[in-house]
Structure 1
Amino acid sequence: MTVLALVVAALFVGVVLVGVGDRLRLPWPVLLVLVGAAAAFVPGIDAPELDPELILPLFLPPLLFATAQRASWTVFRLRWRAVLFLAVLLVAATIAVVGATVVWLVPGIALAAAVAVGAAVAPPDPVAVEAVAGPVGMPRRLVSVLQSEGLFNDATALVVFQAAVAAAVAGEQPGVTTALELVWAAVGAVAVGLGAAWLAGQLAGRLTDAVAPSALTLVLPFAVYLAADAVEASGVIAVVVAALQTRQRADADDVEQRLIGGAFWNVVEMLVTAAAFALIGLELRAVVQDAGDQLGAMVADAALVAVVVIAVRAVWMLGVLVTVRRRGSPAGAAPRTAAEAAVLTWSGMRGLATLALALALPRVTADGAPFPFRTELVIIAAGVLVATLVVPGLTLPLLLRALGVREGEEVGRQAEQRLAARARKAALTELASLDRDALGLDDTVGEEVLGELRARFARLGAGEGGPGAGGAPGDDAGDRADHDRRLAALRRRREQWTRLTSLALAAARREVLAARAEPGVDPEVADRVLQRLDVRSLATSR
């Protein structure tokens, strides 16, 4: 089977599995892993040759960009402690403990190689976490912590992974320079991400086609990742920063672009994930074949490492719980209870990044010799992925119910209603402050339209309703002049209705975008309200 046929088949299967998962209320990343693992052993499907150096820049940038667009700078300002403790310190602790465990389990392995596999299994995956945790009623406060962790932990792991691999290839040991590389990786990546976002904004402002800006955002994450890599900065951080800054600079009037871009990136995220799991999963067949009769022992080692990974996260979450309680549970802090600590521990799901990092291990060292213990390291990483994604993904709903850590749909609806009320108030304020003379509303029709709009916005909420009065003009064959006057009045009423509705909806959109950047406002809730306003705005303008 050709590579093109494999990709098409993977995309088709991915779409089907999303539908199956939605119908069976199962997380589709888990189904992808299971189906991908089964497909790897189907006769007649030959795994394509993937260059290890292409795996990370090919799959990570679009997935990180798509996930980061659903967050905001405000969330990270509020969650900086979570980012520090989970995305940096916990990752470092996991790498250290896993590295020591692998050195103990695999006699003769170099420390650098053990650290590399520790970096591969350390970061939970934000795409997997969101796909699993979102639909099962986990409180948004916990989901937000997991998202903040997932967007930046890849950067820490990737810097350590690259330094460890470089040392292993050269036959050296990682040293103090790794810490210095991490600092530069962060600083340089922020500069690259901000610069790229500014350039993209300047270019997008000059594009007249509604689809072109979405195409630009598809190119942007790859360009940012490669630019950061060229200056030896973190491509992961650069992509996340570019996505956050691009979202922050969004214009309230970019209605069509926002709707197209949102749908576009939802499709990209799903298809890229499906293709990545399928193609990378097929690579495991060769790894398993290389293991031979040692496969059982390697799987046992992988199971032990998975237990170590979960144990490190559990101990760390208990430490965070103690810290949060001592600080008096500041707004948005998590975990606040032992039950929440257990949920956050069980939600440390590894995903595509773990498998991609493991398969990105080079096949040979600098002197041309095979990379030491590569087969076992890849199997260990794959075992940790299965243990931390498949098992928690299938049991997380049960754990949430058992511990009573669930958030009903009513909570989300109330948050949307509060934000919709703000948007409604902004629309009514805009209608009250209009310059009637400048808008030509000094006639009776204009005042009637304005009064009816105020009543509809106040009664139905921002962006709802339409011109309900003034149906088709009567056809009085005996009085053509009266018919023309009525038709002209109807057209004037329609024009004024559209103009005033557009102004009110624009004020509502600006209010929601401003609220999205405020502390305490969930970006996902703001995006849902904004989407409804965008749809109504687009319908009004047509």
Structure 2
Amino acid sequence: MELVAILFALTVGGLLLTAAAEWMRIPAPVLICLYGLALGLVPGMPALDLNPEHLLPVLLPPLLWAAARKYSWRHFAANWRPIIFLAVVLVFVTAAAVALLAATISPVLPLTAAVVLGAICAPPDAAAVSAIADRLGLPRRLVTILEGEGLFNDVTALTLYNVAVIGVVTGSVSAAWSAGLFAYSAVVAVAIGIGVGWVLVKLGSLVDDSRVTTALGLTGPYIAFLLADAVKASGVLAVICAAFYLVARSNDPDDYEGRLVQGSVWEVLETALNALTFALVGMELVDIIQAVGDGVGDLLWKALAVAGAVIAVRALWLGLAILLGRTGIGWKQLGEHPRLAVVTAWAGMRGVVTIVTALALPETIADGSPFPGREQIQFLSVVVVIATLLAQGLTLPGLIALLGVKADTDKETEALRAIMIESGKAATRRLRELRQQGEIDDEVAARMEQWYDRRAGQVASLVEDREDPETERMVEKFDAMQRIESEMLSASTAQLLQMRSSPGNDPALIDQVLAALDHRAVGRRRPA
């Protein structure tokens, strides 16, 4: 029960600090780590007795799934060159640089263990970058590339991590065997991911209940990860492929309730798991410091050196990207817009994957002796995460503002308008089909078409040029109607809630009416 109580306290505190960090406009992981550290320093606080083998399969799959379901295979295909440049090649370069540095400045750390450290520190955190990008309005293509990097660099880094850990535990790993494992891991993981996605789609088509389909979806990341892990394939890639397949095949236009429920559930779960993970790191840091003992001061400067190397390697790599882009090789956009390269170079905060993999290191190797440098690797990794979040996370917004990097709002507005027009055309076509089939009479069809055209015009006006007087007038009128309707819905909902708590009323019947009003309120929201 002590363990459950501590995990509950870490999660609740982390969630509260997530909200506080949004208000304070600073990276939430920093506050949450400090909270976990403070909780771990409380006198008499029992140590967390967590099995390292359980951390990866419990925490990582749902976090990966939550990120992957917002992405798509088409995004990757359209931007494969820069994503591979960052998510594969840069991960190997960073891991090699960190391993060489760590082995040089810390001779007690074997080279194989240093490679483990390099794999742990190599992948940036997609969630941290996305949160800042969404708030500051970066160009959509840049955000898409950074999010793609955040997904696929986990595949590269965790496969390298597994190879390195096997090398430390067994004592020997050949280059040919490692290359074969990479190839096998990728091919099998893709097959498993598509298979799991196919099964979930089929099961979902048999069930007409958003609660059940959402619950089935929650099992998806764990099934994909565990199946892949059981056959020594990449659990990360299997999860990503399963999520891609499920999202691509979930194309029932009438399943609006399922989309709303699943979107909300995954957002809540992602927020809670991020809060728990970073709080867990802060608390575990206390045990790591105690295990390190008197060597904390010496390890601190080494950790800062590793953090500096991680930042410098990314900056140099993006500098190379600019040169290659100008010659027509590699990422052409960076050669044309070097300010994007500067932002990309600085958007390399480390986060959840680095933390989880560091905490998941095995305690012993094959002969039963302790895993070499385990506490040192964990300490260095945690400090790298905190250092990059502080150095880059706190300054990235200012850097973006200084460079004047922002989204092309005119282009995005036009794209949004085109999407709305296509959607409206589809609705009008369907209305005319129903009219031709005789399912509605001419008068009803005419009124429906007039009403829909008017509503479509109001919605489209939200993305028009606000400087046009007529558009401004329409927008103001639409806003006024929205405010009035909001007040009416609020009054109606308040009355229902009061009736629900009064004797003589059936709560189940009131909940039905409340659900209808809630759906109406959700439907009123402007497109994001």
Q: Same fold (TM over 0.5)?
A: yes
Q: Contact between 1:96 and 1:118, CA under 8 Å: does it hold in 2?
A: yes
By how many angstroms is 1:124 displaced? 0.8
Contact persistence 2:38–2:283 (CA under 8 A): no
- The CA deviation string for residues 145-198 of structure 1, in whole angstroms up to 9 with x for no partner, is 111111011111111111111111222355331121111111111100000000
Structure 2 CA distance for aligned equivalents of residues 437 and 189 of structure 1: 48
1:78 aligned to 2:78?
yes
Q: Could you tell me how far apart the structure 2 residues matched to 1:534 and 1:415 are?
A: 26
| Distance across 1 between alignment mates of 2:189 and 2:230 | 11
| Alpha-carbon separation, structure 2, partners of 1:175 and 1:451 | 66
Counterpart position of 2:321: 320
CA distance in 2, matches of 1:458, 1:12: 42
**1:369 aligns to what SS in structure 2?**
coil
Matched, 1:285 2:283: no
Question: After the TM superposition, which of the residue ranges 305-314 and 451-460 deviates more from structure 2?
Answer: 451-460
- Write out per-residue CA displacement over residues 246-293 of structure 1, whole angstroms, 9 at most, x where no aligned residue: 111122221110000001100000011111222233222111001111
Amino acid in structure 2 at the alignment position of 1:430: R
Q: Is the 8 A contact 1:137 1:409 kept in 2?
A: no
Which amino acid in 2 is paired with 1:256? E
Q: CA deviation at 1:343?
A: 1.0
SS of the counterpart of 1:266? helix
Residue of structure 2 in register with 1:503 after alignment: none
1:363–1:371 Cα contact (<8 Å) kept: yes
Cα RMSD for the two superposed structures: 2.7
Cα distance in structure 2, aligned partners of 1:411 and 1:271: 35
Q: Secondary structure at the match of 1:435?
A: helix
Q: CA deviation at 1:33?
A: 2.9
* Contact 1:95–1:118 (Cα < 8 Å) also in 2: yes
Residue equivalent to 1:526: none
In 2 relative to 1, CA 86–196 (structure 1 residues): closer, same or farther, beyond 3 Å?
same
Distance 1:537 1:214, change over 3 A: farther
Is the counterpart of residue 192 in structure 1 residue 192 in structure 2? yes
Q: Name the CA shift for 1:273/1:447 in 2 (closer, same or farther; >3 Å).
A: closer
Q: Per-residue deviation at 1:533? A: 11
User: Following TM superposition, by how much is the alpha carbon of 1:65 offset from its aligned partner in structure 2, in angstroms?
Assistant: 0.2
* CA displacement at 1:36 relative to structure 2: 2.8
Query: Residue 394 of structure 2 aligns to a residue in which SS?
Result: helix
Give the letter for the 1:7 counterpart.
L
Aligned partner (choices 458, 461, 465) of residue 460 of structure 1: 458
- Where do 1:94-243 residues align within 5 Å? 94-173=94-173, 175-243=175-243
CA contact (8 A) 2:281 2:382 kept: no
> Is 1:14 matched up with 2:27?
no
| Corresponding letter in the other structure for 2:457 | R
Q: Aligned partners of 1:53, 1:378: CA distance in 2, in Å? A: 15
Contact 1:142 1:335 in 2 (8 A): no
Per the alignment, do residues 311 and 328 of structure 1 end up closer, same or farther by CA in structure 2, a change over 3 Å counting?
closer
CA gap 1:100/1:534 in 2 versus in 1, 3 angstroms: farther
2:258 is the counterpart of 1:260: no
Which structure 2 residue ranges, 5 or more long, are not aligned? 463-477, 482-518
Q: Which residue of 2 aligns with 1:482?
A: none
Q: Distance in 1 between matches of 2:363 and 2:349?
A: 27
Task: Decide whether aligned partners of structure 1 residues 405 and 455 sit closer, same or farther in structure 2, where only a CA change above 3 A counts.
Answer: closer
Q: Residues 5 and 463 (structure 1 numbering): CA distance in 2 closer, same or farther, change over 3 Å?
A: farther
Q: 1:37 to 1:374 in 2, by over 3 A?
A: same
The residue aligned with 2:310 is: 309
- The structural deviation recorded for 1:407 is 3.0
Q: What residue number does 1:506 align with?
A: none
TM-score by length of 2: 0.83
* Runs (5+) with no aligned partner, structure 1: 469-531
Listed one character per residue, the Cα deviations across residues 483-529 of structure 1 (whole Å, up to 9, x for unaligned) are xxxxxxxxxxxxxxxxxxxxxxxxxxxxxxxxxxxxxxxxxxxxxxx
Aligned 8 A contact 1:102 1:114 in 2: yes
**Whole-angstrom distance in 2 between the partners of 1:98 and 1:447:** 67
